[in-house]
Amino acid sequence: MIRFACALFGALLLLTSTAYGDGLAESKDLLPLGSYSPNKMDCAGGIQTDDGSFENGYGTTSVFFGHIVMKVDPGSYPAKVDTVCTCWQRAGTDSSIDYSLVFWDSDGPGGSPGTRLAVSETFLATGVPSGLSGQFYQADVSGLGLIVNRPFYVGPKWDSGDNDNFFVCADENGPGGQPAYFGHGLFAGITPPDNVLPSVSTPNYRALGIRAVTSEPTSADCIEDLENGMVCLRDGRFEISGTWTDFSNPPVTQPLIWTPQEDINATAGFQNNPTGIQIVMRAADACSVTGTYWLWLGGFTDAGWDITVRDTVTGNQRTWTRDRSSGNFPTTTRDTSTFTCN
């Protein structure tokens, strides 16, 4: 068994160094982790770095989670990520694995994974073949509304404690060209993977069996540009754009710089200095109460602003305008009727 990046919770495991075949692992029940969308297609015509054949497979010995990603370059931008295909192999008797896909921006040190962009629903790969040939499984991720403006990383996260005989296909003699990173342990998929491939134990790495299909965004899509006043909330459903005006003479108007937080409240905050948030937008799901989303707007500044929210599904939109007023601070407002759920 070849290992690298040894740590408390696990290491990378190579399929070619593992005896594989029937009877080597117990069949294990799948975890009930949500909706499954199995599909056996290979993203033909999409972004492909591998040469179509695989000489190895990479997995993990971690008792918690494994996560491995490869850099994907759509070539032209902005690009909407529609589909991701992952090639799986196995070395035991259990032939089904559930996994999610985690997307990272390439804004880490030296172009490594940095900001986590999105996490998919859980998918199920069934009938995974034993040995090196592997099988691609296609996942429709268009519902994430993920639009990128530069290369990104994507790859599966899986429960390696329950699925320790599964491997992501690895091309070790093709042209390659894109780096990959590996993470393992309790926080895999939460913090950026930071073990780069190729490594001492994987000197022949060229590409992973990870492919993607992207498309040009349409006018209905939310195209996030945080530095230039555009943020997307609720998985891209709500497009929020805006500017703010200061107290210079003459006054200066510039884009809001957003810091989004996708949680149960789906909030986005604007800050014009490193010390604190000045304006807060919130898109709350009240569909079960009023059949609408509730949009909240509040602020901690007496500067002026002009903020527009557009629902990319229904086309409904509203603009909030506030004139700068020295010493007069805004009260929080709530719109409970404009943004219907259907």
State pLDDT tens for residues 221-252.
888 888 888 888 888 899 999 888 888 889 88
Q: Are 323 and 303 in contact (CB under 8 A)?
A: no
Co-location of 237 and 160 in the same domain: no
Query: Comparing C-alpha atoms, which of 209, 182, 213 is closest to residue 197?
Result: 182
Domain count, the chain: 2
Co-location of 295 and 233 in the same domain: yes
Residue 6 domain flag? no
Sign of CA dihedral 116, 121, 122, 123: negative
Backbone angles phi, psi at 90, to 5 degrees: -140, 160
pLDDT tens digits, 250-264: 988 988 888 887 776
Sign of CA dihedral 319, 325, 328, 329: positive
pLDDT, position 9 = 33
Co-location of 64 and 186 in the same domain: yes
- What does the block give as tokens for 252? 């200066």
Co-location of 205 and 247 in the same domain: no
Co-location of 40 and 176 in the same domain: yes
Q: Collapsing DSSP states into helix, strand and coil, what is residue 255?
A: strand
Co-location of 181 and 40 in the same domain: yes
Buried b (16+ CB within 10 A) or exposed e, 36-46: eeeeeebbeeb
Domain extent at residue 69: 12-215
Co-location of 199 and 309 in the same domain: no
pLDDT tens digits, 271-311: 555 456 688 888 999 999 999 999 999 888 888 889 999 99
pLDDT, position 326 = 77
Co-location of 133 and 208 in the same domain: yes
Co-location of 34 and 140 in the same domain: yes
51 pLDDT more than 70: yes
Co-location of 22 and 153 in the same domain: yes
Co-location of 37 and 134 in the same domain: yes
